[in-house]
């Protein structure tokens, strides 16, 4: 599979660009004041580790990361992935959440991240879902005009036009809805990481209680480097979430050059 900016242009042709109503704008602004991703937060290796190479441990990320572009002259300019929204399960007494997203930077380059994906939250025993975009260090913002449910097939794409501008696209293939947001930032991307992640994100400056998200499989996982070269998951680093007690709570498997499975354990 070859991912090029033409794909982004094709999706945009049928996309409903996010245009919040006045009431929704207020809600989005309030959400942006307290919720967002962080760069990968590394932790020490647990006592028991996987018997494989290219595995690292984090308090907040789990998934696959391409750490370096295919050549010294290139930078990652686009990342795409398709996943099915999971059915999260959590306790009825507390809010628990996680987020699945694709992005550029945030592992070995932490000054900026361009990313988009879907949050899944269980509160009071009920699950809810939000599609969002973010250019870290700004907070995350919800897309409007798109409905997300468990079982929906989602295509997530980010593309940088330059180090300080780009676009985030979410397509719900199950409903036919598509949204996008062109973004600019004074925090420049480095273009040296591409990733497919399930994250224990932050709210009010603290990690949320990680929900049991079951399994998230990113298929069609492709990054594009400047000059149009497409890159799959060969050589990608596996990231596992290790909790405060030192327990590894995710299991990541790279199934092929374009598919990675992230499972809550």
Rounded to an integer, what distance in angstroms lies between the CA atom of residue 119 and that of residue 99? 4
Report, as residue numbers or ranges, the catalytic residues. 199
**pLDDT tens readout for residues 119-134:** 999 998 899 999 999 9
Task: Name the DSSP class of 176.
Answer: T
| Exposure class string for 83-117: b at 16+ Cβ within 10 A, else e | bbbbebebeeeeebbbbbbbbbbbbebbebbbbbb
- The upper half-sphere exposure of residue 226, i.e. CA atoms within 13 Å in the direction of its Cβ, equals 16
The alpha carbon dihedral of 14, 20, 24, 25 has a sign of positive
Nearest residue to 144 via CA among 247, 237, 240, 26: 26
Nearest residue to 80 via CA among 66, 97, 94, 59: 66
Instruction: Name the pairing type of β-strands 209-210 and 96-104.
Output: parallel
**pLDDT tens readout for residues 18-72:** 332 223 333 233 344 577 887 888 777 766 666 566 899 999 999 999 998 888 7
Question: Quick one: pLDDT at residue 203?
Answer: 86
Q: What is the mean pLDDT of each run of 10 residues along the chain (265 residues)?
A: 42 38 31 69 70 83 94 92 96 87 96 97 92 95 95 98 98 98 98 97 89 98 92 95 92 97 97
Rounded to an integer, what distance in angstroms lies between the CA atom of residue 132 and that of residue 97? 14
Question: Quick one: pLDDT at residue 125?
Answer: 87
Fold of 5-41+64-237: Jelly Rolls (2.60.120)
- Kindly report whether the global pTM for this prediction surpasses the value 0.75: yes
Question: Quick one: pLDDT at residue 225?
Answer: 93
């Amino acid at each position: 599979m070859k991912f090029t900016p033409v794909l982004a242009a094709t999706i945009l042709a049928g996309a409903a660009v996010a245009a919040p109503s006045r009431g929704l704008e207020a809600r989005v602004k309030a959400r942006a004041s307290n919720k967002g991703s962080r760069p990968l937060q590394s932790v020490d290796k647990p006592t028991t580790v996987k018997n494989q190479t290219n595995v690292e441990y984090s308090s907040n990320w789990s998934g696959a990361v391409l750490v370096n572009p295919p050549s010294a002259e290139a930078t990652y300019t686009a990342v795409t992935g398709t996943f099915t929204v999971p059915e999260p399960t959590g306790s009825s007494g507390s809010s628990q959440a996680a987020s699945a997203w694709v992005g550029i930077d945030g592992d070995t380059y932490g000054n900026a991240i361009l990313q988009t994906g879907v949050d899944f939250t269980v509160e009071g025993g009920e699950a809810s879902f939000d599609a969002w975009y973010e250019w870290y260090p700004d907070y995350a913002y919800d897309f409007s005009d798109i409905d997300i449910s468990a079982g929906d097939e989602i295509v997530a794409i980010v593309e940088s036009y330059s180090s300080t501008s780009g676009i985030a696209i979410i397509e719900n293939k199950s409903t036919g809805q598509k949204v996008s947001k062109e973004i600019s930032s004074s925090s420049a991307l480095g273009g040296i990481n591409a990733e497919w992640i399930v994250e224990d994100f932050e709210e009010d400056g603290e990690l949320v209680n990680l929900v049991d998200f079951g399994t998230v499989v990113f298929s069609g996982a492709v990054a594009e480097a400047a000059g149009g070269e497409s890159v799959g998951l060969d050589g990608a680093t596996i990231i596992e979430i290790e909790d405060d007690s030192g327990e590894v709570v995710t299991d990541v498997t790279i199934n092929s050059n374009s598919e990675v499975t992230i499972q809550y354990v």
